C-alpha cells in the first residue's frame, strides 16, 4: 500500500529525514517511535503533503502512485488521513459542515453519490458513538474551545467518517489522561480492518498497550534504525533509545 | 466645486422647501459653507487616504424628479425573503409612494417622506449637526428626499422599516442626496434598515446623511447596507446622539461602489448609553472603501464597542480609522474597538488606525488592529481532509466575514448576506447551503 524509499526531506534548509525506508502493507499497523526531533512529525507531514517540506531525494508510493505529484486534498481523496498532533482550531467553520464538505469531496473523487444533509447526519450519529464525542461539539466551530482530549477524539471521529485506506496518527496519545486514551484507542481499534493500514507515531509505549501494532520501528536522526515486533516497544520503554543507536552505529 | 455651485443655482428654486424661508436660508448657508471650505483634500488628516478630487472633476447632475417604470416585482431582488417590513422605496433619490408600504402604521409611529415634510409649515425643525463637515453641509444644501421617522414614548415597533435606495443606470453621472432623520421617544424600540442598491451600472454619487437621536432608555437597531453599483460613489455621514440608558446597535456592510466613505459620529452624552457598531467592508478590483468612526464618551457610565472587519482582494484599498475619545470626567467608561483585515491578494492594501484619547482615569478601554492573510495551518487542515484549496480558502474567508454578519438580530438579513458572501468568495466551486447543518 505504502512504499517509502530512501526519503530525504529538508525543512528550512535543514535535512530532517536522511534516507528513510518503510513498507506498509494492507491491513498492517506500524508504530514509529523515536526520541524528540528524530523526524517523526516530518514524516507525517510529508505523507499528507504539507508545504515547506522539500523532498530532495527518494520517493513515496501509495498504491503504486507517486504521492509527490498530489496536492494535500488529492492525497486525502486517494484515502490518506492524518490525525494531527495539534488539531487546528478554525473559528467560524462549523465542524459538521467541514466534515460533510470533506466527505462529499472524497466521495465525488471516487465516483460515489454525494450524501445529503439527512444521510450525512445519520452517518455522523453512528460514528460519533465510537469516540463518545458530545453531539454539541459537532455544531461548534472546528476544534474551537475543545479540550485536548476532545480535539484528539474529534480527529478519530473524522477518521471514522472518512474511512481512509491509510491513517497516520501523529502522537494521538500525547497529552491524554488514561481514560481519554482508552476511548481514543477503542475508537482506533474499532476502525482496524484488513483493508486499512495505520501508521502510529508516538513517543510513549503506553499507547501500544491499547492498540497493538504489527511492527515497531525506531526512527532516530532521520532514519529507521531498527524494526521489530511489538516486543521492541517494551524493550525501548525499559532501556531507552541509546542502545539502539549504539547498535546501529 | 464650480459644478456644485452651478447645480445649486440651477435647482435652488425647485428644491423641496424652497418656499419656506427657514429651509431656504438653511440651504443657502450650507452651500456657502461648502463654497468657503471646499472639498477635503489629502492634507486633511481625516482624508489622508481617500481623495475626493475626482469628484470635483466629474459633473454630477442633481437627480430630478423622474418616474421610472419600476414595478413592485422589480423590487423583489432587494427585499429580504420572509422579512415582513414597513418599506420606503426611493428611485434615483425620489420617494416612490406607489412602491412603498407605510400606510396603516401603528399608533405612535410617524414615518414620512422628507420632501413633503420640508414643505409642511407645521413641521418640527430638522436636526442639524456638525456644520464643519463639508459633506454634511452639501447634503443639507441639496437634500432632495428621505425619511423622517419618529416613535412616541413606550412604542415598540414590531416590524423593521426597510428603506430601499435604488439607483438606476441612466445617461451621465448624477447625484442623489437622501437624508434620514430618526428620533425615538423614551422606552421605545425600532429597527431601521438603510439599503443602497443599484439596477445596472449606475454612475451615481450618493451623499447621504442620517441623523439619529435615541431617546431615554430607547433601543435602536439600524443597518447601513451599501451595495451600490461598481461605478458609483457612496458618501455617508451617520450622526448618533444618545440619551440616558439608550442602546443603539448598528451594522454597517459595505460591498459596492468604486469609492465608499462612511463616517460615524457617535455621542454618548448621558449615563447608561451604550453603542455597539459592527462593520464589514469588502473590496475587489480597484474598489476603495474608507470607514471613519468617532466615538465621544462625554458622560460617565457609557459603553461603546466597535468591531470592524475588512476583506480586500484584487487591487482594492481599505481604510479604517476609529477614534474613541473619553472626555474629562467621563469615568467608568468601557470602550472596545477592534479592526481586523484580511488581504486576499498582493496588490490589496489596508490602512488602519485605531485611536484612543483618554482624559479620565477610571476607564476600561481596549483596542487593536490586525492585517493578515488566511492562516496556512487552517488551510492545510481543511485540505488534508479532502477539501479543495479554493473551497478551503472560500470557507475560511466566509468564516472571517460571518463573524460580523452573525451578530445581526434580523435573521433574514443575516441569511441573505451570508448567501451573498458565499457566492462572492467561491469563484468556481459551488457552496452547498452553508447553513444547512447549523
Residue B2 has pLDDT above 60, yes or no: yes
pLDDT for residue B409 is more than 90: yes
Q: How confident is the model at residue A216 (pLDDT cuts 50, 70, 90)?
A: very high
Q: How far is the alpha carbon of B192 from chain A, nearest alpha carbon, in Å?
A: 27
Tell whether A204 is within 8 A of chain B (Cβ). no
User: Quick one: pLDDT at residue A203?
Assistant: 84
* pLDDT level of residue A37 (50, 70, 90 thresholds): confident
- Residue B127 CA to residue B111 CA, distance in Å, equals 16
DSSP H or E run through B265: strand B259-268
CA B391 to CA B359: how far, in whole Å?
48
Give me the pLDDT at residue B437, please.
Answer: 35
Instruction: In whole angstroms, give the CA distance from residue B198 to residue B173.
Output: 14
B431 confidence band (pLDDT: 50, 70, 90): low
% of chain A at pLDDT higher than 70: 100
pLDDT of residue B73: 86
- pLDDT in the model for residue B131: 67
pLDDT of residue B65: 64
Instruction: Mark yes or no for CB contact A90/B434 under 8 Å.
Output: no
Query: pLDDT band at residue B128, thresholds of 50, 70 and 90?
Result: low
Q: What's the pLDDT at B424?
A: 78
- Categorize the per-residue pLDDT at A246 as very low, low, confident or very high, splitting at 50, 70 and 90: confident
Quick: pLDDT tens for B190-224. Answer: 999 999 999 988 889 999 999 999 999 999 999 99
- Each residue of B74-98: pLDDT tens digit? 889 999 988 999 999 999 999 999 9
Q: How far apart, in whole angstroms, are the C-alpha atoms of residue A69 and residue A58?
A: 13
pLDDT tens-digit readout, B222-238: 999 999 999 999 999 99
Name chain B contacts of A46, Cβ cutoff 8 Å. Answer: none
Q: What span, in angstroms and rounded, lies between the C-alpha atoms of B281 and B351?
A: 13
CA distance A133 to chain B (A): 17
Backbone angles phi, psi at B170, to 5 degrees: -125, 175
B391–A51 C-beta distance less than 8 A:
no
Q: What is the pLDDT of residues A90-117, one digit of tens each?
A: 999 999 999 999 999 999 999 999 999 8
What average pLDDT is seen over chain A?
Answer: 92
Question: What is the rounded average pLDDT for all residues in chain B?
Answer: 91
Helix (H) / strand (E) containing B154: none
Q: What is the pLDDT of residue B69?
A: 75
Which pLDDT belongs to residue B130? 60
- Residues 116-145, chain A, touching B (beta carbon < 8 A): 117, 120-121, 139, 141-142
Contact B438 A48 (CB under 8 A): no
Whole-number pLDDT of residue B68: 65
Measured from the Cβ of residue A25, the count of other Cβ atoms closer than 10 Å reads 12
Q: How far apart are CA A134 and CA A143, in angstroms?
A: 13
Q: What is the pLDDT of residue B436?
A: 44
- Nearest residue to B385 via CA among A159, A35, A108, A175: A159
pLDDT (average), residues A170-197: 92
Give percent of chain B above pLDDT 70. 95
Q: Please check the confidence at residue B151 and state whether its pLDDT lies above 70.
A: yes
- C-alpha closest to that of B180 among B226, B148, B213: B148
For residues B308-317, give the mean pLDDT.
96
**What Å distances lie between residue B192 and A179, B89, B158, B217, B419, CA to CA?**
54, 13, 11, 17, 21
Say what angle helices B389-405 and B411-425 make with each other, to 10 degrees. Answer: 150
Structure confidence at residue B432 as a pLDDT band (50, 70, 90): low
For residue B115, pLDDT over 70 is answered with yes
For the cut 70, the answer to whether the pLDDT of residue B430 exceeds it is: no
- Which range has the worst mean pLDDT, B40-44, B269-273, B331-335? B40-44
- pLDDT value at residue A158: 96
Q: Find the CB nearest A91 among B384, B392, B399.
A: B399
Residue A139 has a pLDDT of 87
Give A119→chain B minimum CA distance, Å. 12
pLDDT at res. B438 = 34
Q: How confident is the model at residue A238 (pLDDT cuts 50, 70, 90)?
A: confident
The predicted structure's pLDDT at residue A206: 86
Q: CA of A107, closest CA in chain B: separation in Å? A: 10
CB–CB contacts below 8 A, A to B: 91
Higher pLDDT among residues B252 and B394, named by residue = B252
Give the pLDDT of residue A241: 84
Better-scored residue on pLDDT, B203 or A166: A166
Least confident interval from A230-244, B8-22, B30-44, B95-109: A230-244
Distance CA B384, CA B146 (A): 53
Amino acid at each position: 500500500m505504502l512504499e517509502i524509499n530512501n526519503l530525504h526531506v529538508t525543512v528550512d534548509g535543514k535535512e530532517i529525514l536522511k534516507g528513510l525506508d518503510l513498507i506498509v502493507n494492507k491491513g498492517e499497523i506500524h508504530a514509529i517511535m523515536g526520541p524528540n526531533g528524530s523526524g517523526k512529525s516530518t514524516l507525517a507531514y510529508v505523507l499528507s503533503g504539507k508545504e515547506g517540506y522539500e523532498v530532495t531525494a527518494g520517493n513515496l508510493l501509495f498504491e503504486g502512485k507517486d504521492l509527490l505529484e498530489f496536492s494535500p486534498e488529492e492525497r486525502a481523496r486517494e484515502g490518506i488521513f492524518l490525525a494531527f498532533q495539534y488539531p487546528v482550531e478554525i473559528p467560524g467553520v462549523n465542524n459538521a459542515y467541514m466534515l460533510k464538505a470533506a466527505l462529499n469531496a472524497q466521495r465525488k473523487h471516487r465516483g460515489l453519490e454525494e450524501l445529503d444533509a439527512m444521510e450525512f447526519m445519520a452517518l455522523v450519529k453512528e460514528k460519533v458513538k465510537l469516540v463518545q464525542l458530545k453531539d454539541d461539539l459537532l455544531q461548534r466551530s472546528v476544534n474551537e474551545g475543545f479540550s485536548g482530549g476532545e480535539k484528539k477524539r474529534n480527529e478519530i471521529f473524522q477518521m471514522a467518517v472518512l474511512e481512509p485506506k491509510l491513517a497516520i496518527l501523529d502522537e494521538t496519545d500525547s497529552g491524554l489522561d488514561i481514560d481519554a486514551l482508552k476511548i481514543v484507542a477503542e475508537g482506533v481499534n474499532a476502525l482496524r480492518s484488513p483493508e486499512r493500514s495505520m501508521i502510529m507515531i508516538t513517543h510513549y509505549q503506553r499507547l501500544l498497550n491499547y492498540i497493538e501494532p504489527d511492527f515497531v520501528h525506531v526512527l532516530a536522526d532521520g532514519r529507521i534504525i531498527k524494526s521489530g515486533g511489538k516486543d521492541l516497544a517494551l524493550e525501548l520503554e525499559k532501556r531507552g533509545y541509546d542502545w539502539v543507536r549504539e547498535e546501529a552505529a | 466645486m464650480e459644478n456644485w455651485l452651478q447645480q445649486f443655482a440651477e435647482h435652488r428654486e425647485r428644491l423641496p422647501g424652497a418656499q419656506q424661508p427657514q429651509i431656504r436660508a438653511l440651504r443657502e448657508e450650507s452651500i456657502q459653507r461648502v463654497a468657503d471650505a471646499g472639498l477635503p483634500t489629502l492634507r486633511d488628516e481625516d482624508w489622508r487616504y481617500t481623495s475626493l478630487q475626482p469628484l470635483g472633476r466629474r459633473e454630477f447632475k442633481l437627480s430630478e424628479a423622474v418616474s421610472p417604470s419600476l414595478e413592485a416585482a422589480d423590487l423583489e431582488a432587494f427585499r429580504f425573503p420572509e422579512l415582513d417590513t414597513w418599506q420606503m422605496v426611493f428611485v434615483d433619490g425620489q420617494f416612490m409612494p406607489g412602491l412603498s408600504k407605510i400606510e396603516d402604521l401603528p399608533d405612535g409611529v410617524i414615518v414620512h417622506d422628507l420632501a413633503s415634510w420640508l414643505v409642511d409649515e407645521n413641521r418640527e425643525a430638522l436636526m442639524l449637526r456638525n456644520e464643519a463637515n463639508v459633506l454634511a453641509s452639501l447634503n443639507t444644501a441639496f437634500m432632495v428626499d428621505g425619511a423622517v421617522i419618529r416613535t412616541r414614548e413606550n412604542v415598540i415597533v414590531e416590524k423593521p422599516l426597510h428603506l430601499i435606495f435604488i439607483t438606476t443606470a441612466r445617461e451621465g453621472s448624477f447625484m442623489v442626496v437622501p437624508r434620514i432623520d430618526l428620533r425615538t421617544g423614551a422606552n421605545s424600540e425600532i429597527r431601521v434598515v438603510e439599503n443602497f442598491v443599484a439596477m445596472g451600472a449606475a454612475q451615481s454619487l450618493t451623499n447621504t446623511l442620517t441623523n439619529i437621536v435615541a431617546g431615554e432608555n430607547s433601543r435602536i437597531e439600524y443597518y447601513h447596507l451599501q451595495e451600490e453599483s461598481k461605478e458609483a460613489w457612496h458618501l455617508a455621514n451617520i450622526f448618533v446622539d444618545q440619551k440616558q440608558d439608550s442602546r443603539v446597535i448598528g451594522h454597517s456592510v459595505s460591498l459596492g461602489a468604486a469609492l465608499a466613505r462612511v463616517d460615524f459620529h457617535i455621542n454618548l452624552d448621558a449615563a447608561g448609553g451604550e453603542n455597539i457598531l459592527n462593520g464589514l467592508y469588502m473590496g475587489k478590483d480597484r474598489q476603495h472603501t474608507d470607514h471613519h468612526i468617532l466615538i465621544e464618551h462625554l458622560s460617565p457610565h457609557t459603553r461603546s464597542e466597535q468591531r470592524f472587519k475588512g476583506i480586500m482582494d484584487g487591487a482594492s484599498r481599505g481604510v479604517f480609522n476609529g477614534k474613541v475619545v473619553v472626555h474629562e470626567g467621563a469615568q467608568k467608561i468601557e470602550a472596545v474597538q477592534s479592526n481586523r483585515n484580511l488581504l486576499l491578494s498582493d496588490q490589496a492594501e489596508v490602512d488602519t488606525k485605531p485611536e484612543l484619547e483618554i482624559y479620565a482615569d477610571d476607564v476600561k478601554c481596549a483596542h487593536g488592529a490586525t492585517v493578515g492573510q488566511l492562516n496556512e495551518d487552517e488551510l492545510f487542515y481543511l485540505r488534508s481532509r479532502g477539501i479543495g484549496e479554493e473551497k478551503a480558502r472560500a470557507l475560511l474567508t466566509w468564516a472571517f466575514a460571518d463573524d460580523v454578519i452573525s451578530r445581526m438580530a434580523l435573521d433574514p438579513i443575516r441569511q441573505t448576506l451570508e448567501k451573498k458572501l458565499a457566492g462572492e468568495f467561491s469563484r468556481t466551486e459551488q457552496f452547498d447551503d452553508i447553513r444547512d447543518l447549523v
